[in-house]
Amino acid sequence: MTDLSQVLEIATATHAGMVRSHNEDSIAADAEIGLAVLADGMGGYNAGEVASGIAVAMISTEMKQKLSGGGAEVLNGGAERFLAEHAERANAAIYEAAQSQPQYSGMGTTLVVALWHDNQVAVSHVGDSRLYRLRGETLEQVTRDHSLLQEQIDSGLITREQARYSQNKNLVTRAVGIDPAVDVEAHTYPVQPGDIYLLCSDGLSDMVTDEDIQLTLSSLQANLSLAADQLVQQANDNGGRDNISVILVRVRGNFPAQRAGWLGKLRAWFG
Amino acid sequence: MAKLILSLDGSVIREVPLDKERITIGRKPQNDIQIENLAVSGEHACIVTILHDSFLEDLGSTNGTVVNGSPVKKHILQHNDVIEIGKYRLKYMGDAPAAGQTPADDFEKTMVLRSPAAVRAATAPQLSGDTQGGGAPFVAPAAAVTPVAAAPAMSAAAAAPAPAVSVPAAKAAEAQPLAAIQILNGPNAGTERELTKNLTTLGKPGVQVAVITRRPQGYFITHVEGASFPTVNGNTLDAQAHPLKDHDVIELTGVKIEFFIKSK
């Protein structure tokens, strides 16, 4: 597997916010294998942290093992399938833990996972944690929430602008770990050098407008960790009603996969 | 539960709880809220309620529906909105969590809304004992927490606190007095720029950039990129954000810029 740490620059920030006593979000990012994972847990006491923690730890360790060990062939079955399988494994683990331990009963988590490979990014998500992309000056929301609000927008019941005033923001229609099976949405998108990707929990997207996210990413892109901190700070300045997590990934250049022809295999043999 | 208070010329006629998914307003007798007045169309408007949200829709009425003074076709009702239909007024009292039942904090926690089909399909036993029967479409995240979303019958006394305003307080920083910067030297001397956004960058990308952030606490300057850091009144900044005061002089890439408050 190509080492992407020279191509991807990553900055992260996570904060409990101004209202919640603890942080139920979990994040992990690994530039080498080109992976970013973000989960927003739900459940009483510390069950939310447990659910998001299981999802992020399982997905990031297992993927790292397979990707750094197996090489690009791991993705031969399709990166989307690869991502979905890992989300399903996390789902099973969380569901099992919730079944066997009463204090974790009903726990679950949202999930967004992005994997950069071969000049593309594969994205899987469940729930209302999001992936955005800044390309040039344009910010685009790549994922579509699995939430009641999104369904209402899709059905034309309310507009995106009206959605800002909804009281139903906190209802997701899918989550990892609440049922024996989970429906994971996964897609692949072409990547361009200069793209900046943002994975975030709803603690950011509910508190900071897309315009302000766009302004922050485009004006502070020279300093990615400052941009991450600024996003969290703006969410807190606006009330910080939920945990806030962000992962920023900047793509510095092209990263085509090394084709594993006979020459490549020979090189690897002698390498 | 959310409700409407119907009044005419300031005197209350009746209260209407929004206890149905769809409530119609009009002159004809089949309406849930019948208003016998010629200015009101036969089928004038309707209100669709889904969990905590109520949507008002004008049904193509002749004289229109007005909310808080503005005509609307479709509107998501907010606590204390006043709907005007002809000379009649309907005040919307939003849904609020009943005090003592659920801490306000839990009210906003993310919950899973599962389709009844998904619940039936689940072969496993119910996750938590308090979901209301096998067919309950909602699953509360914690066994101890009553699923708020599943309790539309929860009463909201008139004295109950208003529902938390869910609009992101994106404008929190706009409460700040308007400030501006003015370039003091060089070819652009005299150029002034008002700080109307939450972030304003200064300098040359790739050389040296600083950002002025507008926050509820005031204005701050932070170094963004470049080997050298900006100075404020001659003092070099570090990586931390630095609060700006009226008439502070910032210097970067050899350009002096004055920060000042325009309106108080």
pLDDT digits (tens, 9 = 90+) for B50-108: 888 899 999 999 999 999 999 999 888 998 999 999 899 999 998 764 443 444 444 45
From B28's Cα to the closest Cα of chain A, the distance in A is: 25
Confidence category of residue A163, pLDDT binned at 50, 70, 90: confident
Chain-chain contact of B94 with A167 (C-beta, under 8 angstroms)? yes
Distance CA B147, CA A119 (A): 44
Question: Looking at CA atoms only, how far is residue B94 from chain A in angstroms?
Answer: 10
Q: Is the pLDDT of residue A175 over 60?
A: yes
> Does residue A2 form part of some domain?
no
Write out pLDDT tens, residues A223-245: 999 999 999 999 999 999 999 99
Look at A43 and B95 and tell me if their CB atoms are within 8 Å: no
Which positions ≥6 away from A250 have C-beta within 8 Å? Answer: A8, A9, A10, A194, A195, A196, A197, A221, A224
User: Has this prediction a pTM greater than 0.90?
Assistant: no
B244-251 own/partner pairs: CB under 8 Å, 24+ apart: B244/B179, B244/B212, B244/B218, B244/B219, B244/B220, B249/B184, B250/B181, B250/B202, B250/B210, B250/B221
Distance from CA of A130 to the nearest CA of B (A): 15
Above 0.95 for ipTM, yes or no?
Answer: no
> Is there a domain that residue A188 lies in?
yes
Q: How far is the alpha carbon of B248 from chain A, nearest alpha carbon, in Å? A: 23
For residue A172, name the pLDDT band (cuts at 50, 70, 90). very high
The arithmetic mean of pLDDT across residues A89-112, rounded, is 94
- Answer whether residue A1 is part of any domain: no
Would you tell me the crossing angle of helices A79-100 and A47-70 to the nearest 10 degrees?
A: 140
Closest chain B residue to the Cα of A128, Cα to Cα: B110
Predicted confidence (pLDDT) per residue in B238-260, tens digit: 989 999 999 999 999 999 999 99
Give chain A's mean pLDDT: 92
**Tell me, what's the pLDDT at B197?**
92
Q: What is the pLDDT of residue B51?
A: 81
Give the CATH number for residue A45.
Answer: 3.60.40.10
8 Å CB contact of B215 and A164: no
Q: Is the pLDDT of residue B172 over 70?
A: no
Give yes or no for B124 touching A (CB within 8 A). Answer: yes
The answer to the question of residue A99 being in a domain is: yes
A180·B124 Cβ contact <8 A:
yes
Query: Is residue A263 one of the residues assigned to a domain?
Result: yes
- Chain B residues close to A102, C-beta within 8 Å: 143
What's the whole-number mean pLDDT along residues A51-72?
Answer: 89
Count of domains for chain A: 1
Average pLDDT of chain B is 77
- Out of B52, B167, B198, the one facing A212 most closely (by C-beta) is B198
Does some domain include residue A92?
yes
Q: Is the pLDDT of residue A167 over 90?
A: no
Top residue of B112, B123, B212 to mutate, by most chain A CBs within 10 Å, is B112
- Is A3 among the domain residues? no
Q: Is residue A149 part of a domain?
A: yes
- Per-residue pLDDT, B178: 92
* Inter-chain residue contact B113 with A172, CB threshold 8 Å: yes
pLDDT range class, residue A261, cuts 50, 70, 90: low
Range of the domain at A195: 8-270
Question: Is the CB of B207 inside 8 Å of chain A's CB atoms?
Answer: no
